[in-house]
Chains A and B, each alone.
Chain A
Amino acid sequence: MKQRPVVDVSHLPTYGFGAASPMWWGTLAFIALEATGFALAIGTYFYLAVLAPHWPIAAPAPDLAPGTAILIILLASLVPNHLVDRWAKQQDFHKVRAGMVFMTIVGILPLIVRIWEFPALRISWDQNAYGSIVWFLLALHTSHLLTDVGDTIVLAVLMFTQKGKVGRRLSDVSDNAFYWDFVVASWAVLYLVMYWAPRM
């Protein structure tokens, strides 16, 4: 078949940010499927709550302190997170490096606090269905937190190597910031469900 060139793409860039990047769409798709997982787990929580004569079943409502502390840390982290995203889009390598180190620390903090959060649920996972579902929700969120912190650490290290001085890495940093927003937003919802629904 004969070919008839009609479009020249030679001067197009090799990376972009946000909706221009396939990786952003991939990240969005993963967020969508994980959000569905969260939604179904939350649905399970309320399904079991409606069936139970008393909710929580045979346990006091969870202790507010650690979960609230994590919520505050995560909400506060949105500020540096968006700064890193902005610096990435401005292609400012120096600020991105500093921001990624900071975001690594900000990401590890809630993981440390979470060590106290599991006992603060004041029930074991195998005691009854209420215990099972709150542990499930918390573990689900912790796995997301761990994943994104891991990703942040790897990207932060990468930014200090020769291979980090590449425009495409900045696009990765921006997508990482996007995913962190999801981790924060999902905790805001889970926090309300786990800590305030039993107090209603």
Chain B
Amino acid sequence: MSSIRQKNADRIEELKGVRDTGLDEARLVAFLAHAWQTPKGLYGWLATVDHKVIGRRYVVTAFLFLILAGLSALVMRFQLAAPEAGRISPDFYDQLFTMHGTTMMFLFAVPVMEAFAVYLVPLMIGTRNVAFPRLNAFSYWIYVSGGIMIWIAFAFNTGADAGWFSYVPLAGQFYGIGKRPDFWAQMVTYTEVSALAVAVEIIATVLKQRAPGMTLDRIPLYVWSVLITAFVILFAMPAVMVSSTMLILDRLVGTKFFDQAAGGDALLWQHLFWFFGHPEVYIIFIPATGFVSAILPTFVRRPVFGYLGIVLSLIAIGFLSFGLWVHHMFATGLPQLGESFFTASSMMIAIPSGIQVFCWIATIWGGRPIFATPLLFVLGFIFTFVIGGLTGVMVASVPIDLQVHDTYFVVAHFHYVLVGGAVFPLLGAVYYWFPKATGRMLSERLGHLNFWFVFLGFNLTFFPMHILGLQGMPRRVYTYPLESGWGSANLFISLSSLVLFVGFALFFLNMLLSFRNGLPAGDNPWGASTLEWATTSPPPSYNFPRLPVVTHREPLWAEPDTLAVIEGLRVDAREVLGGMVADAVPQLRLPSADNSIWPLLSATAVGGTFFASIYTPWAVVWGAIPISIGFICWFWPKGEPEDEE
């Protein structure tokens, strides 16, 4: 060590900029805080590229959309609580279920998973920011403008109304009402651009910016999960961008992609949409399994069982998720051989999912569980997800699917998979990382209450839907006849949904109260093993005073009191370390982009163009001018200190 110091002291003169080598703690922190600061005031708020600020923003925004989507579900339950109720009109009901599904999938579930990745990945792999910080800021502004746009349209009675998968011909040029499907299609474009941008930056960050020593077999399982998710996004999301662009072109300039009379095909939409739509489920589910693999070891006090098996399962799920899309189309009269193939592949994906579940059970089995709120949500997840998985195997079978297609059985199934499989781990993740992000603990008492209300409320709400579905109640109907006999079950479901609502209210209440008055968290309140717990809570703008070196898969358990670190990075300018893809051997000192207003301005230009193109195709031509100006100003170098080297 001393020889390293001596060597650096000899050479320090010839090095450009101020380095962290041998700097005392106070000066080091002062330099870093200056180089990595987000300026105070409105400009700083708009121009920041700090992944933690953007990640927090993403999380808060996604939860606001969750509230909107949840409230629209409550209104639907209010209507369905009694047969032949006329509390809301059929047209408004159509908009509500479409906005509910669209918001949950595009504006809540995917963004919130990406939000956690944006916040956590740099901390967990030991770097100071994501690979493309301005792209990250850009992605947030695009996402939020797309979400606001579709909800404003809804407020003006132009809410999308053809379901979250917006099937043609219902959403096509002949039957789609006014501009409703166009707002849906363009909202998809916004959110997909945003999701793809995050996927690209996550891939580059994980592959190139891991701490030295973090070889592929030492990457935290959560980071593996978001890396694989990013690849799934990369290959799935273009499908919905292509299809939604075709939809808006059919409606705006008269192309005939989906027009049967002119050689188009309505099923083409379903193929393209579900080529995205099924991987979408895994884009939501894979990071959730990452949460589970991160939370479990901490609360059972032992490393996760079957690390390699879990990583390989995640990769297998990523691949297999692309071979399932036709199981959404079993009722469309496709050739039987094709249906059999997709039945087989749909059942096959249960294998890697099952391997993960068994690894988690083995981890719990071999550990000493501490039943804190995050673990409760994980256990709730395992219970609920297994039920959802089992009904998934059922609907993968063509004869059963044909019976229950478009009934409440399917509604029950996918809520078990999505809420049980993704939202439960997500809530657990909030309880787990809230102390890191805010420096304060969430209340355990409220947390336990929150868990039981959500867990019971969820099961009481959605389990009876299986039965209603088997009895034949179709989904997406605004009411049902008295003679059907479904009234009491629906009333029970609607009342149960209030229990679920209270559960979520407790969740938000806990966050609000604890943000102000929670107990101080300290750096590592759970005694966890991964790198994000090696820094302060909340982490400083530069994440770590000196970037860590990893010597073990569970670094903080291997060396609880000392952190191996690197030296030699610049501290007077933003600099991170780049390493080799497989073994993370240091390769480059990489300049990291500073704050900039141009991502926001570029997002405004892009968003404005998307919005205007709902009304005229010429928007694309004229919009190209501000977009080009925005991007050129964004990328034009502004005399960064690193350029001296």
Contacts and interface: CB of A to CB of B under 8 A. Distances in A.
A154 interface: yes
A14 B589 contact: yes
Contact of A47 (B234, B238, B256, B268): B268
A45 B7 CA distance: 63
B594 to A, nearest CB: 14
A14 B569 CA distance: 10
A2 B577 CA distance: 21
Interface string B335-373: 000000000000000000000000000000000000000
Contact of A9 (B208, B271, B563, B566): B566
B516 interface: no
Nearest to B5: A5
Nearest to A55: B263
Given A30-B200, A32-B235, A129-B256, A5 B563 contact: no
Given A1-B562, A10-B8, A41-B242, A136 B637 contact: no
Contact of B636 (A12, A20, A130, A158): A158
A20 B201 CA distance: 15
Given A20-B578, A25-B207, A48-B263, A36 B234 contact: yes
A133 interface: yes
Contacts of A14: 575, 588-591, 642, 645
B263 A57 contact: yes
A13 B590 CA distance: 8
Given A126-B256, A136-B246, A26 B568 contact: no
Which residue, B21, B200, B564, has most C-beta atoms of chain A within 10 A? B200
B503 interface: no
B256 A22 contact: no
A128 interface: yes
B622 interface: no
B417 interface: no
B264 A7 contact: no
B1 interface: yes
B546 A3 contact: yes
Given A40-B242, A52-B263, A150-B628, A20 B587 contact: yes
Nearest to B237: A33
Interface stretch (B51-59, B154-162, B247-255): B247-255
Contact of A37 (B238, B265, B568, B642): B238
Given A37-B238, A166-B643, A22 B275 contact: no
B632 A33 contact: no
Main secondary structure of the interface of B (DSSP, over half): mixed
A29 B562 contact: no
Nearest to A41: B242
Given A36-B238, A132-B255, A166-B643, A9 B568 contact: yes
Q: Classify chain B's interface size.
A: 35 or more
Nearest to A162: B639
A115 interface: no
Contacts of B262: 57, 127-129
A166 B241 CA distance: 37
A67 B155 CA distance: 47
A168 interface: yes
A8 B568 contact: yes
Interface in B560-602: 561-569, 575, 577-578, 581, 586-591
A19 B239 CA distance: 27
A131 B259 CA distance: 12
A3 B547 CA distance: 10
A51 interface: yes
A16 B588 contact: yes
Contacts of B238: 33-34, 36-37, 40
Nearest to B632: A154
Contacts of A51: 263, 265
A2 to B, nearest CB: 5
Contacts of A125: 249, 253-255
B589 A12 contact: yes
Interface string A159-172: 00001001111000
A19 B581 contact: yes
Contacts of A8: 4, 7-8, 21, 566-568
Contacts of A26: 131-132, 200-201, 203-204
Given A4-B565, A135-B255, A10 B21 contact: yes
Interface in A46-67: 47-48, 51-52, 57
B19 interface: yes
Contacts of A131: 255-256
Contacts of B575: 14
A163 to B, nearest CB: 5
B319 interface: no
Contacts of A30: 200
A33 B534 contact: no
Interface string B519-558: 0000100000000001000000000011001000000000
B426 interface: no
A29 B203 contact: yes
A26 to B, nearest CB: 5
B586 A9 contact: yes
Contact of B204 (A9, A20, A25, A130): A25
A11 B645 CA distance: 11
Interface in A138-171: 150, 154, 158, 163, 166-169
A116 interface: no
A66 B234 CA distance: 33
B255 A37 contact: no
Contacts of B523: 1
A132 B257 CA distance: 7
Interface of B: 1, 4-5, 7-8, 11, 15, 19, 21, 131-132, 196, 199-201, 203-205, 207-209, 212, 234-235, 237-239, 241-242, 246, 249-250, 253-257, 259, 262-265, 268, 271-272, 275, 523, 534, 545-546, 549, 561-569, 575, 577-578, 581, 586-591, 628, 632, 635-637, 639, 642-643, 645
16 contacts: A5-B1, A5-B5, A5-B566, A5-B567, A7-B549, A11-B11, A26-B131, A29-B200, A40-B272, A44-B246, A48-B265, A128-B262, A128-B263, A132-B249, A136-B249, A166-B643
> Which 7 A-B pairs have CB atoms at the shortest separation, nearest pair first?
A10-B568, A129-B263, A132-B255, A126-B254, A37-B238, A129-B264, A9-B568
Given A6-B564, A13-B589, A33-B199, 6 more contacts: A4-B563, A5-B546, A9-B567, A11-B568, A14-B645, A36-B234
